[in-house]
Amino acid sequence: MIAINEIFYSIQGESSFAGLRTVFVRTAGCHLRCTYCDTKYSYGPGEKMSIDELILIIESHQAKHVCLTGGEPLLQKEALPLMSRLCDLGYHVSLETSGDLSCKDVDPRVLRVIDVKTPDSGAADRFHKDNLNLQGVNIEFKFVICSEEDFYWAEEFVDQNHLSNTYSVLYSPSFGEIDAKWLANKILNEKSNARLHLQQHKYIWSPETRGV
Ligand code: SF4
């Protein structure tokens, strides 16, 4: 059984799957408390569901993409077999995770979108070093940038760990806190190797909604 906060169908707003029709499975619970968290409602216990029950709901939406998000999905051990089962069924699966838990046991067919928490998130000391040694191409490191200090911290982290040689590196402006144009210019002027990453759903709908 896995504790679920919500399941919904919308346009993926993030990662290299951005723009695609996706079923989102939001697990319940998170052990972090990032300053900019926009899913505080997921902290509660949620509703327990079996993998079979989840798959029936996912199938009803007739989408090829499924995103497992949270909260923190990897807090629940059933998240691993759920992702593998979805891959076996032919779904393109992505995982959004805080970076604080190891992704080494996640099925390599899954697109792993791994946060690297910056100092202004309040959780910069919570990165699991295992995540720097993952194999495969389906790995994206995402930094939510809240300030100029965060930008330079991220640049140093990427540089020290040679992230952009092997993985996609995404810089996302903290919505409502950092202007996307400012971050775009910063990436240009500093010749950063990061990809500007906007949360499309927040520009299409209001930050509190996400489509149907
Ligand atoms: S890891 Fe994600 S869900 Fe957890 S507190 Fe941070 S932003 Fe919120």
Asked whether residue 211 is domain-assigned, the answer is no
Instruction: State if residue 162 touches ligand 1 by the CB under 6 angstroms criterion.
Output: no
Residue 160 contacts residue 185 (beta carbons within 8 Å): no
Lowest mean pLDDT among 41-55, 174-188, 196-210: 196-210
Compute the distance from residue 37 Cα to the ligand 1 centre, in Å.
Answer: 5
Asked whether residue 210 is domain-assigned, the answer is no
pLDDT of residue 210: 64
Question: Residue 167: is its pLDDT beyond 70?
Answer: yes
pLDDT of residue 207: 56
Residues 54-74: tens digit of each pLDDT: 999 999 999 999 999 999 999
**DSSP character at residue 124:** T
Nearest CA to ligand 1 atom 6: 34
Q: What distance, in Å, lies between the first and last C-alpha atoms of the chain?
A: 26
CATH of the domain at 32: 3.20.20.70
Distance CA 146, CA 32 (A): 17
Q: Print burial letters for 144-167: b (CB count within 10 Å at least 16), e (below 16).
A: bbbeeebbebbbebbeebebeeeb
Asked whether residue 7 is domain-assigned, the answer is yes
- List the domain range (segments joined by +) for residue 100: 2-204
Question: Residue 79: is its pLDDT beyond 60?
Answer: yes
Which atom, in ligand 1's list, is nearest to the CA of 36? 7
pLDDT band at 136 (very low <50, low <70, confident <90, very high): confident
pLDDT band at 28 (very low <50, low <70, confident <90, very high): very high
Compute the distance from residue 40 Cα to the ligand 1 centre, in Å.
Answer: 8
Name 6's bridge partners: 26
Asked whether residue 158 is domain-assigned, the answer is yes
Asked whether residue 209 is domain-assigned, the answer is no
Compute the distance from residue 185 Cα to the ligand 1 centre, in Å.
Answer: 27
pLDDT of residue 211: 58
Across the chain, mean pLDDT equals 95
Distance CA 183, CA 178 (A): 7
Asked whether residue 212 is domain-assigned, the answer is no
Domain count, the chain: 1
pLDDT of residue 112: 98
Which residue has better confidence, 207 or 64? 64
Instruction: State if residue 72 touches ligand 1 by the CB under 6 angstroms criterion.
Output: yes
176 preceded by a cis bond (ω within 30 of 0): no
pLDDT band at 174 (very low <50, low <70, confident <90, very high): very high
Nearest CA to ligand 1 atom 1: 98
Asked whether residue 95 is domain-assigned, the answer is yes
Compute how many other C-beta atoms are within 10 angstroms of the C-beta atom of residue 121: 23
Find the length of the chain.
212
